[in-house]
Amino acid sequence: MSRFQTQLKDSLPHLWRYAYSLTRDSYRADDLVQDCVERALRKKSQWDSTRGLKPWLMTILLNLFRDRYRAQVAEVAFVEDYVGGAEDTRWEDRAKLREVVQRLHSLPEGQRQALQLVAFGGLSYAEVSDVLGVPIGTVLSRVARARASLSEVREHRKPELRSVK
């Protein structure tokens, strides 16, 4: 197996997680990854083999997403998609997760993209810098701001019951 094929195979789980984080739909994520791989194979000659393949693939995937899905308003993801529909998940945890997911999707686009590439795409900050075409310092600040915004999720507390006298 060639170096290109090996790196492509190793990148597939990262590509799918990133595609899913963008589309919030497993079928559209599958299509996006398939189109990304198809384009990468067609344009293999444009890949700079002195650099890692994964950042190049993430760039292709992001551009495909922008071309196809950016104008569409994605439906709100159900928490069960993120927790796997686990029956034993407490309602408080689901509510907290729903709030985190909503905050993630309400982040400014630059912050959301940087965080998704790091968290779901498995890229380093330098690789994210290459994918987004921004300085590494910008990536660092976007990820830090995104994480700070997500960490502001307040604890959900059950309302206290008052005794009636």
Q: What CATH number should be reported for the domain holding residue 22? A: 1.10.1740.10
Q: For the chain (length 165 residues), average pLDDT per consecutive 10?
A: 90 93 89 95 91 92 83 44 53 72 84 90 91 93 90 52 49
Per-residue pLDDT, 79:
40
Distance (Å, whole) CA 113 – CA 143:
9
Please give the pLDDT value at position 37: 96
82 is a domain residue: yes
Residue 165 lies in a domain: no
Residues 68 and 139 in one domain: no
Residues 129 and 152 in one domain: yes
Among left, alpha and beta (phi > 0; psi -120 to 50; other), residue 85 is left
Instruction: Assess contact for 129 and 139: CB atoms under 8 A.
Output: yes
Question: Would you state the pLDDT for residue 158?
Answer: 44
118: containing domain: 76-158
50 CB-near residues (< 8 Å, 6+ apart): none
